[in-house]
């Protein structure tokens, strides 16, 4: 069996920046165990497996090296990039994911791709988990939570960049991950994302978490159009538009590699 694989850097226009994802498009699903093995072999934060329904409609699943993930933005952006590149006349495609429903992606004239996510605004926690307090070198000023992660809010962006995590302790928060965030001077807000229970130590750029970050910061900053930066070593920029029910997250992508996976089954 031969499978074509694309390695794409998402939320960037420069190679070796943003968040790398692998994309494999098939007409039928591979066995779950094989998809997980391929994701382990790639050792990227996500490998996206895409099943074609027709030219504009697809199903999508995401696998980290550890487990299947319910919702991944950067690998969705990567998959959209591959499809738009293959079908240049297309301006809109949709992906169906079991946990989040349909994700519509629009190709824009400026090279950005805009993804429509559900509004996953976090709520203030009633009690901060002990593992969250012990797993961060800097105490939070506020903690919120949604179905994906704990949101740790800091007073300034220097704290976001300086915080050191104990990921063995943060892994105890499973199945939830941890995002740290603060208002920014250059951008509207910045963040970093840690997910030791689900994918690895620190994710370079996390599209999905901005479905929670964007509505939080829209309320704090009294604006609905925001520019976000994820301050990992690779870094990535995201444009966010906030409505009551949807969050629109836009980014660019660039291809790093196209190759063939050869398997004997």
Q: Are 237 and 229 in contact (CB under 8 A)?
A: yes
- Catalytic pick among 41, 46, 68, 258: 46
Domain 2-117+250-262 fold is Diaminopimelate Epimerase; Chain A, domain 1 (3.10.310)
Half-sphere exposure of 108 (CA within 13 A, CB side): 16
Give the mean pLDDT of the chain: 96
161-191 pLDDT, tens digit per residue, is 999 999 999 999 999 999 999 999 999 999 9
CA distance 149 to 140: 15
Can you identify the CATH homologous superfamily of domain 123-242?
Diaminopimelate Epimerase; Chain A, domain 1 (3.10.310.10)
Q: Give 88's pLDDT tier (boundaries 50, 70, 90).
A: very high
CA distance 105 to 74: 12
Mean pLDDT, rounded, for 194-200: 86
Mean pLDDT, rounded, for 66-95: 96
Q: Are 3 and 41 in contact (CB under 8 A)?
A: no
Is 46 an active-site residue? Answer: yes
16-72 pLDDT, tens digit per residue, is 999 999 999 999 999 999 999 999 999 999 999 999 999 999 999 999 999 999 999
Is residue 200's pLDDT more than 90?
A: no
Mean pLDDT, rounded, for 185-207: 93
* Start-end of CATH 3.10.310.10 domains in the chain: 2-117+250-262, 123-242
Cα–Cα distances in angstroms (integers) from residue 62 to residues 33, 59, 176, 250, in the given order: 13, 11, 17, 19
Q: Which of 81, 79, 111, 65 is nearest to 203 (CA)?
A: 65
pLDDT at residue number 32: 97
């Amino acid at each position: 069996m031969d499978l074509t694989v694309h390695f794409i850097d998402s939320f960037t226009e420069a190679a070796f920046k943003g968040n790398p994802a692998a994309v494999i498009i098939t007409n039928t699903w591979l066995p779950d165990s094989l998809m997980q093995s391929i994701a382990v072999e790639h050792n990227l934060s996500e490998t996206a497996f895409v099943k074609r329904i027709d030219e504009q409609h697809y199903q999508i699943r995401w696998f980290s090296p550890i487990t299947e993930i319910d919702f991944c933005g950067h690998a969705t952006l990567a998959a959209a990039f591959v499809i738009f590149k293959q079908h240049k006349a297309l301006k809109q495609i949709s992906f169906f994911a079991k946990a989040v429903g349909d994700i519509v992606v629009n190709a824009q004239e400026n090279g950005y791709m805009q993804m429509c996510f559900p509004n996953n605004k976090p709520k203030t926690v009633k009690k901060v988990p002990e593992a969250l307090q012990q797993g961060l070198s800097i105490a939070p000023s506020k903690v919120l939570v949604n179905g994906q992660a704990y949101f740790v809010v800091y007073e300034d962006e220097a704290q976001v960049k300086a915080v050191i995590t104990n990921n063995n302790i943060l892994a105890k928060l499973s199945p939830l991950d941890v995002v740290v965030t603060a208002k920014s001077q250059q951008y509207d807000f910045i963040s970093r994302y840690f997910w030791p229970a689900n994918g690895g130590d620190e994710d370079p750029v996390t599209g999905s978490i901005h479905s929670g970050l964007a509505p939080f910061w829209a309320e704090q900053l009294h604006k609905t159009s925001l520019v976000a930066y994820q301050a990992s070593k690779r870094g990535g920029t995201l444009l966010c538009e906030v409505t009551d029910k949807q969050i629109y997250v836009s980014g660019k992508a660039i291809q790093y590699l196209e190759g063939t996976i050869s398997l004997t089954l």
